[in-house]
Chains A and B, each alone.
Chain A
């Protein structure tokens, strides 16, 4: 939705942010591209034509209660399958490198910066393939990545994870992504750091642009 202030390629209009199933008001921040219904466990992407495109939404189960500040960040989650083949090289034996297991791909769905320094939370999840038990989630806030963009990122995450084991140069591959959903994951917020409670990886709080507003809306303060 960002762009020139004077651009008017599509007719400007308002789309009601109300759950098509239960009529509840959808949660989300100004500038978000996805809004969620906590009651029905659905997220809705506002398309450029003004439709609400639905996908399931859930949140990770938090092991134990905590008195500290928890903030819930949205991730796109896809079921992934891929096949990859390298052309045979005459005189060379086929590489015995074991390909990584990638059942699910996670794409950071909130505005995250400084990947070069701290890594990408979504990519870290994809590379580690954690088992995440889910439940109906807290309110959705900060989801600013469209499903279309998330699919491109997800494909590159799979390729980069394979490439870390074996050079993908010249390989033929096919990637299939299905079951797109939004998964909210808990991060502990302390000392200006965000600690991913699934993988126990710390990121600087400055990497998240809308942190204060996501904190308020995602019902994170405990």
Chain B
């Protein structure tokens, strides 16, 4: 950031030094007012999308979203208390281009080669920074743009964005692919979109969990929640009771009607093995549910919350200015120390 903001060019009219801002390919000299285009400086144009939700809305909808996603049960949702929601502008690389050319392909019915001309959009939208456990890959720009009534892309405005939330920096950028043979990628443009993502934190009993919400479509991107222990006890009791009953009946019938007894014993063993192999997560203690890519899955043995915190803050350190990282960590107030799985 510091290097790029120090980059300057000379005004072709008066020779004054003109600073180059990120994404500015047209500049105006503040001394002679000459408008100039910058060549030899490849910088993605920058935009941001404002969030359609405020902190209060996020706090009120996130539990409902987790409930709908199957991450929380009505019982755990009742005990969940949301105590923090922060807005982050996460950079995404967005490439739009036209892919056009001639393709030779073999026609199935006659096995002859035919030439087809095609023109189609080429589009890629990927996070430009690595943050684990935020579900960043689940953001769909098209869904966001279609959900907005008017053009939702705003010109990059660092001051305004900082006023609204935390602004993350770009770590990596997508490259425009090259065409091959008779296929060309024409009129490619590369943009950097700062996308609004809400990171919320909630408590259930003494444990703290986190999740992320799409700031435009309200979609749950990532979430983590404890398994509902009440159901767990019921499931465990039911399974143990069933296996025990079958074992007892099997043993009793082994002497009265050996054929039925053997079958029952075998069934008890099979159910026991199946539970051990696949159904263990249903009765496991301290397991967590993790929501990502649109599905909720059990995570074995629960998570080491301290490890997750460290990984997130380590990755944030790469995309945050130092003062913002400190600000975020301070706002957490070390509450995460007491986390459990």
Contacts and interface: CB of A to CB of B under 8 A. Distances in A.
Whether both chains belong to one complex is answered with: yes
A206 interface: yes
Contacts of B207: none
Contacts of A210: 151, 153
B120 interface: yes
Interface string B179-197: 0000010111111000000
A31 interface: yes
Contact of A152 (B11, B24, B118, B184): B184
Given A2-B188, A146-B187, A160-B118, A9 B36 contact: no
A163 B100 contact: no
A43 interface: no
B115 A170 contact: yes
Interface size band for A? 35 or more
B44 interface: yes
Contacts of B115: 167-170
Nearest to A7: B42
B182 to A, nearest CB: 9
A17 B9 contact: no
A159 B102 contact: yes
A2 B38 CA distance: 11
Contacts of A144: 187, 189
A101 interface: no
Contacts of B190: 2-3
A150 B176 CA distance: 18
B158 to A, nearest CB: 15
Given A12-B39, A13-B40, A206 B117 contact: no
Contacts of A168: 115, 117
A106 B24 CA distance: 29
B142 to A, nearest CB: 8
A125 interface: no
A9 B2 CA distance: 21
A28 interface: yes
- Most chain A beta carbons < 10 A, residue from B43, B112, B117: B117
A2 B150 CA distance: 25
B189 A31 contact: yes
A156 B100 contact: yes
B40 A11 contact: yes
Contacts of B24: 30
Interface in B88-109: 96, 98, 100-102
B7 interface: yes
Contact of A12 (B22, B41, B98): B41
A105 to B, nearest CB: 13
Given A144-B189, A149-B187, A8 B117 contact: no
Contact of B27 (A14, A163, A167): A14
Interface in A1-59: 1-5, 7-18, 25-26, 28-32, 35, 46-50
B187 A13 contact: no
A181 interface: no
Given A7-B42, A169-B113, A15 B25 contact: no
B339 to A, nearest CB: 38
Contacts of A18: 34-35
A83 interface: no
A11 B188 CA distance: 21
Interface stretch (B12-20, B282-290, B328-336): B12-20
B325 to A, nearest CB: 22
Top 7 closest pairs, chain A to chain B, by CB: A3-B42, A10-B40, A2-B190, A14-B36, A149-B186, A160-B117, A145-B187
22 contacts: A1-B41, A5-B22, A13-B38, A14-B18, A30-B24, A30-B155, A31-B26, A32-B26, A46-B39, A47-B39, A116-B121, A120-B119, A153-B100, A153-B186, A159-B102, A160-B118, A168-B115, A169-B112, A169-B113, A169-B114, A209-B96, A213-B155
Given A26-B35, A160-B117, 4 more contacts: A18-B35, A152-B100, A152-B186, A210-B151
